[in-house]
């Protein structure tokens, strides 16, 4: 049996060290760390951990809200873990041990998953309100405009692209434009090589 710890922090700036230390102190043999929102299921380390699971393994998390922010995702993940013959256990929620399949345990899992989802919704709402206030005060600029063909640097890069003398990678590096932007702009301008 391997104890596989899983950690998620919301941003690259957050430090997962405290969570990692707590999981290792509780016996985690391996710790998987994702630095991204819990609102998305597309987390590379979570996927890796699920792939690595073997029958009898235990997934150890610090708390449910660090594992998933959606009730549906929580249940899907728990079912995937169970299907592999493994179990899920939380340090912050001692009642959460999926080896216990009682109605009370299922009820608590549902309630706490719903609370995580509610918390995520409230965070989004506060964020929207903050952005609206900042816009009214002229402080919110939003996403910077994407590159357009009106930009002289882009025009020259597209000319280089059309000539076909340099690789796309070289042109992108030379003019500080991503390759995907260069391809997109060339397509918009119907420039082929």
Q: What are the pLDDT digits (tens) for 139-191?
A: 887 777 778 888 899 999 999 999 999 999 999 999 999 999 999 999 989 99
Q: Mark whether 182 and 99 lie in a shared domain.
A: no
The answer to whether position 25 is within a domain reads yes
The answer to whether position 43 is within a domain reads yes
Mean pLDDT of 110-133: 83
CA dist., res. 66 & res. 53, Å (int): 19
Q: Mark whether 159 and 67 lie in a shared domain.
A: no
The answer to whether position 121 is within a domain reads no
- Identify the helix (H) or strand (E) that includes residue 60: strand 58-61
Phi, psi of 179 (to 5 degrees): -60, -40
Q: 176: phi > 0 → left, psi -120 to 50 → alpha, else beta; which?
A: left
Q: Mark whether 103 and 171 lie in a shared domain.
A: no
The answer to whether position 132 is within a domain reads no
Predicted TM-score (pTM) of this structure? 0.57
**More confidently predicted of 51 and 136:** 51
What is the DSSP pairing of strand 87-90 with strand 3-9? unpaired
Number of domains within the chain: 2
Q: Is 181 a catalytic residue?
A: no
- Tell me which of 58, 88, 116 is where a domain ends: 116
Q: Mark whether 110 and 24 lie in a shared domain.
A: yes
Q: Mark whether 18 and 100 lie in a shared domain.
A: yes
Instruction: Tell me the CATH number at 47.
Output: 3.40.50.1390
Q: Mark whether 98 and 14 lie in a shared domain.
A: yes
Contacts of 86 (CB under 8 A, 6+ apart): 53, 54, 55, 56, 57, 58, 59
Q: Mark whether 79 and 158 lie in a shared domain.
A: no
Contacts of 45 (CB under 8 A, 6+ apart): 6, 32, 33, 34
The answer to whether position 137 is within a domain reads no
Angle at 93 between CA 90 and CA 95, to 5 degrees: 95
Q: Mark whether 64 and 9 lie in a shared domain.
A: yes
- Beta-carbon-side half-sphere exposure of residue 67 (alpha carbons within 13 Å): 32
Q: How far is CA 164 from CA 158, 171, 189, 191, in A?
A: 10, 10, 15, 11
Does residue 120 register a pLDDT over 80?
no
Does residue 80 register a pLDDT over 70?
yes
Q: Is residue 114 within 8 Å of residue 65, measured between CB atoms? A: no
Instruction: Determine the structural domain holding residue 178 and report its residue range.
Output: 152-188
Q: Mark whether 8 and 78 lie in a shared domain.
A: yes
CA dist., res. 167 & res. 138, Å (int): 42
CA dist., res. 85 & res. 56, Å (int): 6
Residue 13 confidence (pLDDT): 63
Catalytic residue, chosen from 10, 37, 105, 181, is: 10
Q: Mark whether 180 and 88 lie in a shared domain.
A: no
């Amino acid at each position: 049996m391997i104890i596989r710890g899983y950690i998620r922090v919301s941003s690259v700036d957050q430090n997962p060290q405290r969570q990692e230390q707590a999981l290792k102190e509780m016996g985690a043999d391996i710790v998987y760390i994702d630095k991204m929102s819990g609102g998305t299921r597309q987390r590379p380390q979570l996927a890796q951990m699920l792939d690595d699971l073997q029958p009898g393994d235990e997934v150890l998390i610090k708390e449910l809200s660090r594992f998933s922010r959606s009730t549906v995702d929580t249940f899907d993940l728990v079912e995937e873990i169970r299907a592999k013959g493994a179990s899920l256990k939380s340090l912050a929620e001692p009642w959460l041990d999926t080896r216990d399949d009682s109605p009370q345990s299922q009820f608590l899992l549902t309630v706490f998953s719903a609370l995580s989802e509610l918390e995520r919704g409230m965070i989004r709402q506060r964020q929207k309100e903050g952005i609206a206030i900042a816009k009214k005060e002229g402080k919110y600029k939003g996403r910077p405009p994407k590159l357009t063909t009106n930009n002289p640097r882009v025009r020259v890069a597209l000319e280089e692209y059309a000539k076909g003398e340099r690789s796309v990678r070289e042109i992108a590096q030379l003019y500080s434009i991503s390759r995907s932007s260069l391809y997109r702009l060339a397509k918009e301008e119907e420039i082929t090589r």
